[in-house]
Amino acid sequence: MLKKVFEPIKIGNLQLKNRLVVPPMVTNYCNTDGTVTERYIAYHEARAKGGWGLIITEATAVDERGKGFHNMAGLWSDDQMESHSRLTERVHQHGGKIAVQLYHAGRQTGSHITGVQPVAPSPIKDPTMDETPRELTKEEIKEIIEKFGDAALRAKKAGYDAVEIHGGHGYLINQFLSPFSNKRTDEYGGTLMNRVRFAVEIIENVRKKVGKHFPILFRISTVEFVEGGLTIEDTKVIARMLEQAGADAIHCSTGVYKTMMYVIQPAAVPHGFSVSFAAEIKKVVSIPVIAVGRINDPLIAESVLLSDKADLISMGRAALADPELPNKAKEGKLDEILPCIGCVQGCIGRLLKGLDICCLVNPSTGKEKEFAVEPAKEKKKVFVAGGGIAGMQSAIIAAKRGHEVHLYEKGDKLGGQWLLAAVPPSKTELNTLTIWLKAQLDKLGVHVHLKTELNENIIENENPDAVIIATGAKPFVPNISGVNLPEVVLAQDVLAGKKDVGQSVVVVGGGLVGAETAAHLANHGKKVVIIEMQKEIVKDGEPAVKYFLLKDLQEHNVEIITSATVKEIKQGSITFEKDHVMKEIRDVDNVVIAVGSKPENTLADKLQGKVEKLITVGDALKVRKALEAMEEGYRAGLAV
Task: Give me the active site residues, please.
Answer: 171
Q: Which helix (H) or strand (E) holds 549?
A: helix 543-555
Distance, in Å, from the CA atom of 485 to the CA atom of 585, rounded to the nearest integer, reads: 16
CB atoms within 10 A of CB 137: 10
Which DSSP state fits 356? P
Distance, in Å, from the CA atom of 434 to the CA atom of 85, rounded to the nearest integer, reads: 40
Closest CA to 541 of 410, 292, 352: 352
How far is the CA of 388 from the CAs of 112, 491, 606, in angstroms? 41, 18, 21
Start-end of H helices in 94-249: 111-114, 138-157, 172-177, 192-210, 232-245
Q: What SS3 state is found at 94? A: coil
Do 220 and 251 meet the contact criterion of CB atoms below 8 Å apart?
A: yes
Do 469 and 614 meet the contact criterion of CB atoms below 8 Å apart?
A: yes
Contacts of 182 (CB under 8 A, 6+ apart): 121, 122, 175, 176, 188, 189, 195
Do 569 and 481 meet the contact criterion of CB atoms below 8 Å apart?
A: yes
Distance, in Å, from the CA atom of 238 to the CA atom of 247, rounded to the nearest integer, reads: 11
Distance, in Å, from the CA atom of 401 to the CA atom of 444, rounded to the nearest integer, reads: 10
Do 632 and 615 meet the contact criterion of CB atoms below 8 Å apart?
A: no
Residue 454, burial from CB neighbour count under 10 angstroms (0-12, 13-18, 19+): buried
Distance, in Å, from the CA atom of 402 to the CA atom of 530, rounded to the nearest integer, reads: 49
Do 346 and 358 meet the contact criterion of CB atoms below 8 Å apart?
A: yes
**How are beta strands 98-103 and 54-61 bridged, if at all?**
parallel
How far is the CA of 54 from the CAs of 50, 165, 340, in angstroms? 11, 15, 19
Do 389 and 625 meet the contact criterion of CB atoms below 8 Å apart?
A: no
Tell me the angle at which helices 138-157 and 81-93 cross, rounded to the nearest 10 degrees: 40
Q: What SS3 state is found at 98? A: strand
Give me the DSSP letters along 436-488.
HHHHHHHHTT-EEEET----HHHHHHH--SEEEE---EEE-----BTTTSTTE
Contacts of 384 (CB under 8 A, 6+ apart): 391, 394, 395, 398, 405, 406, 407, 408, 454, 467, 468, 470
Residue 168, burial from CB neighbour count under 10 angstroms (0-12, 13-18, 19+): buried
